[in-house]
Amino acid sequence: MSYGSKIREFRKERGLTLTKLAEKASISPSFLSSIERGAKKASINVLNRLSVAVNVPVSYLVEENLPRSQDEGNRIHQIRIARGLTIEELAEISDLPINAITEYEEGNRKLGLADIQKLCDALNVNISYLLSKGKKKYKLSDRLRSIREAQGLTVTALADKAGVSPGLISQIENDLTTPSFETLEAIAGAIGIALSYIWIEKEDLEELLSSLSPGVLDLLSDSTVQAVLRIISDFDSGEVKYLFSYIEFFKRHSNLLR
C-alpha cells in the first residue's frame, strides 16, 4: 500500500476531511489530494507533518508493506497481560470477537484500522505506539557490563557485593540467563544505583511515553500527580506490587465506587 493510500485510510478513519487534514499539516487541500492519489510525491518534511496530524509514526507511512501483524499482536498481548486482562475481558471492552483477538495476538490474523483503534482505546494506549517499528532490542547484559566496568569492579567483586556467584554475573553479562527481579535488586543495591537505571534506557522511556494515552500524559504534567509519584519513588518491590494490585482492583470495580 502506498503512503498516499495509507494517509487517506487514516484520514477517513479519523473522520477528517481533505481540507481539515491539509490545514493540520499546513499544506493545501489540492496537494494533499494529489498525494493521496499518488499523483505527487511528498517530501519527508510534509510526511512528518502528516504523520503528526493523523497520529501515526512516519515510518509506518513510508514502509512498503503494513507492519507484520505478528509484531502488533505481540504488543497487544503484552499490554493486555500487563493490564491484568483476559482475552474475554478485552473482547468485552473493545467490542471485538474473542477469536479475532486471539488470532491477532498469535499473528494469524490482520485487523483493520478501526478494530486496531478499538483495541488501543480499550487498553488505553496510543495507536502510534502499536504501529511503530520496533527498535533494536536493548540488552540488559550490555548495560550491566558497562555499569560494572565504569565502576571499576571485576565480576568477582560485584558478585561478592551482591551476594551472588561470579558465574551468575558472567552468565547475565553474556546473555546466557535472565536474572530474577530479586537478583537485579541485589545487583543494583551492590553498585548503588536505582534498579530502573539497569533495566531502562532513555530509548525505552521514550517508547514507554509514546505508548501512553493523551489523557495520561496530561495527568503526568499535573503537579499533584507528580507529587504522588515522588512519594512512591522509593517504594520497594513488595510495596509496588501491592500498589499495582490495588490499582487493578480499583479498575475492575470502579463502577461500584461511583
Separation CA 241–CA 64 (nearest Å): 43
Q: Domain boundary residue among 83, 105, 131? A: 131
Write down the residue that cell numbers 482492583 correspond to: 249
Q: Domain boundary residue among 92, 114, 131? A: 131
Separation CA 190–CA 187 (nearest Å): 5
Q: Say if residues 87 and 122 touch (Cβ distance below 8 Å).
A: no
1, pLDDT greater than 90: no
Mean pLDDT rounded to a whole number for the chain: 77
- Which one has a higher pLDDT value, 164 or 151? 164
Instruction: Count other Cβ atoms within 10 Å, centred on residue 58.
Output: 17
CATH number for 145: 1.10.260.40
Q: Model confidence at 226, in pLDDT bands (50, 70, 90)? A: confident
Mean pLDDT in residue range 220-228:
75
Is 83 in the same domain as 118?
yes
210, pLDDT greater than 60: no
Q: Domain boundary residue among 180, 196, 212? A: 196
Separation CA 76–CA 78 (nearest Å): 5
Is 212 in the same domain as 190?
no
Least confident residue range of 38-42, 67-71, 171-175, 232-236: 67-71
How many alpha carbons fall within 13 Å on the CB side of residue 66?
Answer: 16
pLDDT the model gives residue 200? 55
- How far CA 125 is from CA of 81, 82, 99, 210, in Å, comes to 14, 12, 21, 8
Q: Which of 59, 62, 196 is nearest to 130 (CA)?
A: 59
Tell me, rounded to whole angstroms, the distance of Cα 218 from its chain centroid: 17
Q: Which of 120, 138, 143 is nearest to 216 (CA)?
A: 120
194, pLDDT greater than 60: yes
Separation CA 13–CA 100 (nearest Å): 20
- Which one has a higher pLDDT value, 122 or 257? 122
- Which one has a higher pLDDT value, 252 or 88? 88
How many domains does the chain divide into? 4
- Quick: pLDDT tens for 94-147: 999 999 999 888 878 888 777 888 888 888 777 766 665 444 444 677 778 888
Provide the domain limits for residue 170.
140-196
Is 107 in the same domain as 146?
no
Is 127 in the same domain as 76?
yes
- Quick: pLDDT tens for 165-175: 988 898 888 77
By percentage, how much of the chain surpasses pLDDT 70? 75
